[in-house]
Structure formats: C-alpha cells, structure tokens
Amino acid sequence: MPTLCRPVVAVPEYVITLDDTLDLARRLHGRHEQLPLVLRLIRNTHVAKRHLVQPIEDTLRHPGFEARNAVYVREAKARVPEVVERALAHANLTPDRVDAIVFVSCTGFTMPSLIPWMINELGFRSDTRQLPIAQMGCAAGGAAINRAHDFCLAYPGAHVLIVACEFCSLCYQPTDLDVGNLLSNGLFGDAVAAAVVRGDASVGVRLSANGSRLIRDTEDWISYAVKSTGFHFRLDRRVPGTMEQLAPELLSVAADFGWNASALDFYIVHAGGPRILDDLSHFLGVAPTMFRYSRATLTEYGNIASAVVLDGLRRLFDAGDTPHDACGLIAGFGPGITAEITLGTWGSHAAQPERKPTHFHNKEALT
C-alpha cells in the first residue's frame, strides 16, 4: 500500500516574533484608520514567531518583482537539496529510485519549474515524471499527497517525492494597506518541506483514499492580484468561517469510503488560523486536542502555506505514540475554496525488501 514516509521541514534562520510584528505594524502603519483592528487580528492568530529567508530589513524593502523572484530562486536552490536528501533517507531511498516528483509552491515563479533543476543536480533519473503545482496555494500540500497517492495507484511499486517550497515573506507588499493583506503580514512564514510516498508498505501513513471538494462561487475569497510589484494577497473576511461549509465535505469524503470523519484517531489539517481549527473541532464534533499538531505548527512557524500539512505530519511522526492501524485524516485548504482530503492508517511495521524500481521505459508501462 502507498505509504507517506516521515517528512522533513526546514525553516530559515531569521526569526520575527509576535511582539516584533506588532511593533512593526505600529511603526509602519501608525496612521492607518483600522490599525486597532489589524493589531487585534494579528494577536488573535496566536503565531508566536515566524521564520524568514531574509533579515527583516531586507524583507521590508521591495526591490521589484524581478529581484524578489531572483531571491526566491536563489534561496530555493540553496535550501531544497538538504531537505530532499533527508526525506529520501527517511524513506530508505536513493534519488534513482524515485519515479515522480511533485513540486508545490505559490510564492515564486519559474518556467520550467524547479523539478528539471532537481533532476539535473540531485541525481534523479531523466525519465522522472514531473508534476509542478503552482496555483493551489495552501491546499497544494494536500493536493501533492493526493496526486502522489494517485500515481502510486496507477503505477504499483512506484515512489514519489513531494517538495513544498514557500517563501511567503517575498510576497510582502509595503504599499498594500488592505486589512487582509496587513493581517497576512503577521500570519505567514517561510519553510521548505519534503516527503516521500513509497509505493510499498512502510512505516508511516498508509494512504487509503482521497478526495477533493470545492465550495462553489468562492474563487475570489483567497486570491492573488498579480501586479507589476508581484503577488498581492487577497483574503475575504468570510474565509475564517468556511469550515462550516467544509466540515460536511470532510464527512462526505470519509463516508464515501465507509469512514466516520468524526471518530478518527488523528487529524492533520491546514492551520490557516486558529478559528479554522476551533470550527473544525466544533463542526466535526471532536476534541480540540485532536488538532494539536496543526496548532503547534501555527504557533511556532505561522501559516507556512502548502508546507503546513507536512509539518503537522512531521510532528505526528516525532510524537511516536500513534498505535498501529490508527485511522486518520489529512486535509489541505486553499483558494477555490478547495479542500484536498486524504484518509490513511498508521503503519508502524518496517517495509518488506523493495521490488525493482519502475523505470517506465516501455510502452506497456505507460498505458
């Protein structure tokens, strides 16, 4: 059974605390008529600290979209290799054993994606399948797991590497005074994460089923306005309340496969903010402590976009107290409004000896 192995998450060395963020908001936007509201919203995120790829002085300067994107590429190439190497080690794989790479990011842009660079520089085969996902925002972490699962079902025995690279601080817009944008300045952090979905059973989350759900007519609730200065984050005030609509969808996807989403052993969900977790606890009828891993990510790293679910999973692995065959749910939420939902069971038994890698060198393997 396809198994999601232990993720690796790396955060940059520059740190900004909640107090730092509040002080900056007061200094930079002291005359903003809604500053008291902004300060209250930032405090209510309960984000104690975040990590940035640049010192705060450099983050606050905007040298232009081209220069910002160059920083994105430079930092990604500097930070991705170590994370990938460690994720492969956790899965007991070498690069030549990987059959597909899913790369997710919404905070910078390259064409081609960074997957060809990874193939050339990190030892992957030239026939490695490429699946870059750039426009699903925070939901992309869940989508990456689901697409890796789908690939392993289509090609039994295959192995898929997932990489999430999010430098949200590079989307800071100093002249954008929209309340949603100012809130995002105190919510989002930077991180790089990676994990492997092995095509055979291993220690980790054994993927059973997945589904995707969209709340109709909400595509402008979370979005980017793409301008000459880059990506301007847009967040509708109705977004924090979307769990009332998404919780039934989680129940529906689980029910499609005979599961009860209100009676599972673990939950790893995208922590876009504390209300998301509070509302899920209420509408699913589960104890707030069931979202402790997601809440810890939010507190310690902020909203790290597509990397949130991988960090929550890392914390599940690190806890080391999940019993064999425990049932759980993974969910990423993002623009659309979209939910990417995964069902899986915890496997604590080591994998059997590997089969030969699937290289897809003949026509039969491609059908």
Helices (H), the chain: 18-28, 35-44, 56-60, 65-90, 114-122, 140-154, 179-184, 243-256, 274-284, 292-301, 308-319
Distances (CA, A) of 49 to 153, 159, 236, 364: 39, 35, 24, 51
Distances (CA, A) of 201 to 275, 299, 322, 339: 35, 33, 17, 26
Plot region of 210 (φ>0 → left; ψ -120 to 50 → alpha; else → beta): beta
Among residues 238, 296, 303, 242, the alpha carbon closest in space to that of 267 is found at: 296
Which of the following is catalytic: 106, 138, 165, 171? 138
Is 138 one of the annotated active-site residues of the chain? yes
- Angstrom distance (rounded) from CA 1 to CA 16: 41
**Contact residues for 232 (Cβ-Cβ < 8 A; gap 6+):** 171, 173, 176, 181, 224, 225, 226
- Angstrom distance (rounded) from CA 27 to CA 243: 34
Q: Which two tokens stand for residue 279?
A: 């509302």
- Catalytic residue numbers read 138
